[in-house]
Structure 1
Amino acid sequence: MTAQTVRTTPLPRPARPARTARHGFSTQQVHAGADVDPTGHGDRVAPVHVSAGFRFEDASDAAARFSGEDDGFVYSRIANPTTAALERRLAALEGGVEALVVGSGQAAITTALLGLLQSGDHLLASDHLYEGSRGLFAENFARFGIEVDFVHDHADPGAWRRLLRPTTRALFAESLSNPRNEVLDVVAVAGVAHGAGVPLVVDNTLATPYLLRPLEHGADVVVHSASKFLSGHGTALGGVVVVGSGFGWDRLDDAGAPRFPQLAEPSAMLGGRSWTDLHGERAYAQHARHHVAARFGPVLSPFSAFLVQQGVETLSLRMAQHCRSAALLAGWLERHPGVARVDHASLASSPSHLRARRYLPRGSGSVLAVTLRGGAPAARRFIEALQLFSHMTHLGDVRSLVVHPASTTHAHRTEAERERAGVHPGTVRLSVGIEDVEDLQADLRRALVAAELATAHGDSLEGSLEGGAA
Structure 2
Amino acid sequence: MSTTTQDHCNSQAPLRFETKAIHSGYDRQANADAVSVPIYASAAFDLENAQRGDALAGGAISGFEYSRVANPTVDALENRLAALENGVGAVAVSSGMAAVTYALMCVAEGGGRIVAPVNLYGASVDALGDFLPQFGIHGDFVTDINDLDAVEAAIGPQTKAIYTETVANPSTAVADIEGLAALAHRHDLPLIVDNTVPTPYLLRPIDFGADIVVHSTTKGITGHGNAIGGVVVDAGRFDWTNGKFPQFTRNDLVISDQKAGKWNSFASRFGNEAFIKRVRTKYLRTFGAVQSPFNAYLQLIGLETLAVREKQEVASALAIAEHLQTLAHVTRVNYASLEGQSTHDFARKYLPEGVGTILSFTVDGDSTNVQRILNGTKVFSYVPNIGDSRSLIVDPTHVTHREVPQQYYDAAGVSDNLIRLSIGLENVDDLIADLDQAIAGAYIG
Q: TM-score, normalised by structure 2?
A: 0.94
Alpha-carbon separation, structure 1, partners of 2:273 and 2:158: 23
Say whether residues 1:424 and 2:431 are aligned partners.
no
| CA deviation after TM superposition for structure 1 residue 19, in Å | 9.5
| CA deviation after TM superposition for structure 1 residue 18, in Å | 6.5
Please say if residues 374 and 451 of structure 1, whose CA atoms lie closer than 8 Å, have aligned partners that are also in contact.
Answer: no
Say whether residues 1:236 and 2:261 are aligned partners.
no
Alpha-carbon separation, structure 2, partners of 1:375 and 1:352: 28
Q: Out of 253, 256, 275, which is 1:268 matched to?
A: 253
Indicate the larger mover: 113-122 or 360-369: 113-122
Indicate the larger mover: 175-184 or 375-384: 375-384
Please give the per-residue CA displacement for 1:313-345, whole angstroms capped at 9, x wherever unaligned: 000011111110000110110121110000001
Alpha-carbon separation, structure 2, partners of 1:235 and 1:117: 33
SS of the equivalent of 1:347 reads coil
Alpha-carbon separation, structure 2, partners of 1:78 and 1:232: 26
Alpha-carbon separation, structure 2, partners of 1:336 and 1:244: 44
Please say if residues 219 and 386 of structure 2, whose CA atoms lie closer than 8 Å, have aligned partners that are also in contact.
Answer: yes
Aligned CA distance change for structure 1 residues 49 and 441 (closer, same or farther; 3 Å): same
Q: Out of 432, 439, 451, which is 2:442 matched to?
A: 451
Say whether residues 1:398 and 2:389 are aligned partners.
yes
Q: Greater RCO between the two (CA within 8 Å, min separation 6)?
A: 2
Say whether residues 1:35 and 2:20 are aligned partners.
no
Aligned CA distance change for structure 1 residues 66 and 190 (closer, same or farther; 3 Å): same
Partner of 1:173: 164
Partner of 2:320: 329
Please give the per-residue CA displacement for 1:81-138, whole angstroms capped at 9, x wherever unaligned: 0000011110000111001100000111111122211233111112110001111111
Please give the per-residue CA displacement for 1:171-228, whole angstroms capped at 9, x wherever unaligned: 1100010000010110011111111111111100001000000000000010000100
SS of the equivalent of 1:123 reads strand
Please say if residues 206 and 235 of structure 2, whose CA atoms lie closer than 8 Å, have aligned partners that are also in contact.
Answer: yes
Please give the per-residue CA displacement for 1:354-384, whole angstroms capped at 9, x wherever unaligned: 1111010111211111100123222111111
| CA deviation after TM superposition for structure 1 residue 41, in Å | 5.3
Partner of 2:57: 66
Alpha-carbon separation, structure 1, partners of 2:229 and 2:426: 24
Aligned CA distance change for structure 1 residues 291 and 45 (closer, same or farther; 3 Å): same
Question: Which amino acid letter does the alignment assign opposite residue 105 of structure 1?
Answer: G
SS of the equivalent of 2:116 reads strand
Alpha-carbon separation, structure 2, partners of 1:267 and 1:41: 37
Unaligned runs of 5+ in 1: 1-13, 253-258, 458-470
SS of the equivalent of 2:402 reads coil
Say whether residues 1:281 and 2:272 are aligned partners.
yes
The equivalences for 1:291-440 within 5 A come to 291-440=282-431
Please say if residues 248 and 267 of structure 2, whose CA atoms lie closer than 8 Å, have aligned partners that are also in contact.
Answer: yes
Question: Which amino acid letter does the alignment assign opposite residue 266 of structure 1?
Answer: N
Please give the per-residue CA displacement for 1:216-255, whole angstroms capped at 9, x wherever unaligned: 0000010000100000000000000110022112222xxx
Q: Out of 81, 84, 87, which is 2:75 matched to?
A: 84
Partner of 1:100: 91
Partner of 1:213: 204
Question: Which amino acid letter does the alignment assign opposite residue 447 of structure 1?
Answer: A
Please say if residues 19 and 92 of structure 1, whose CA atoms lie closer than 8 Å, have aligned partners that are also in contact.
Answer: no
Question: Which amino acid letter does the alignment assign opposite residue 303 of structure 1?
Answer: F
Please say if residues 144 and 411 of structure 2, whose CA atoms lie closer than 8 Å, have aligned partners that are also in contact.
Answer: no
Unaligned runs of 5+ in 2: 1-5, 257-262
Partner of 1:47: 38
Please say if residues 173 and 343 of structure 2, whose CA atoms lie closer than 8 Å, have aligned partners that are also in contact.
Answer: yes
Please say if residues 103 and 237 of structure 1, whose CA atoms lie closer than 8 Å, have aligned partners that are also in contact.
Answer: yes
| CA deviation after TM superposition for structure 1 residue 412, in Å | 4.0
Alpha-carbon separation, structure 2, partners of 1:249 and 1:411: 36
Please say if residues 118 and 408 of structure 2, whose CA atoms lie closer than 8 Å, have aligned partners that are also in contact.
Answer: no
Aligned CA distance change for structure 1 residues 362 and 67 (closer, same or farther; 3 Å): same
Which aligned segments of 4 or more residues in structure 1 are displaced greater than 6 angstroms?
17-20
Alpha-carbon separation, structure 2, partners of 1:159 and 1:151: 7
Please say if residues 123 and 401 of structure 2, whose CA atoms lie closer than 8 Å, have aligned partners that are also in contact.
Answer: no
Say whether residues 1:140 and 2:125 are aligned partners.
no
SS of the equivalent of 2:404 reads coil
Alpha-carbon separation, structure 2, partners of 1:414 and 1:94: 33
Please say if residues 367 and 431 of structure 1, whose CA atoms lie closer than 8 Å, have aligned partners that are also in contact.
Answer: yes
Question: Which amino acid letter does the alignment assign opposite residue 338 of structure 1?
Answer: H
SS of the equivalent of 1:115 reads helix
Alpha-carbon separation, structure 1, partners of 2:133 and 2:112: 10
Partner of 1:11: none
Please give the per-residue CA displacement for 1:394-429, whole angstroms capped at 9, x wherever unaligned: 111000000011222233434332222221221100
SS of the equivalent of 2:359 reads strand
Please say if residues 18 and 88 of structure 1, whose CA atoms lie closer than 8 Å, have aligned partners that are also in contact.
Answer: no
Alpha-carbon separation, structure 2, partners of 1:161 and 1:53: 47
Partner of 2:16: 24
Partner of 1:153: 144
Please give the per-residue CA displacement for 1:236-276, whole angstroms capped at 9, x wherever unaligned: 00000110022112222xxxxxx211111111222221111
Alpha-carbon separation, structure 1, partners of 2:10 and 2:131: 37
Please give the per-residue CA displacement for 1:279-333, whole angstroms capped at 9, x wherever unaligned: 1101111111011111000011100000011001000011111110000110110
Please say if residues 224 and 389 of structure 2, whose CA atoms lie closer than 8 Å, have aligned partners that are also in contact.
Answer: yes
SS of the equivalent of 2:40 reads coil
Alpha-carbon separation, structure 2, partners of 1:278 and 1:178: 38
Please say if residues 119 and 413 of structure 2, whose CA atoms lie closer than 8 Å, have aligned partners that are also in contact.
Answer: no
Question: Which amino acid letter does the alignment assign opposite residue 122 of structure 2?
Answer: E
Please say if residues 18 and 33 of structure 1, whose CA atoms lie closer than 8 Å, have aligned partners that are also in contact.
Answer: no
Partner of 1:195: 186
| CA deviation after TM superposition for structure 1 residue 450, in Å | 1.2
SS of the equivalent of 2:188 reads coil
| CA deviation after TM superposition for structure 1 residue 56, in Å | 1.0
SS of the equivalent of 1:100 reads strand
| CA deviation after TM superposition for structure 1 residue 57, in Å | 2.8
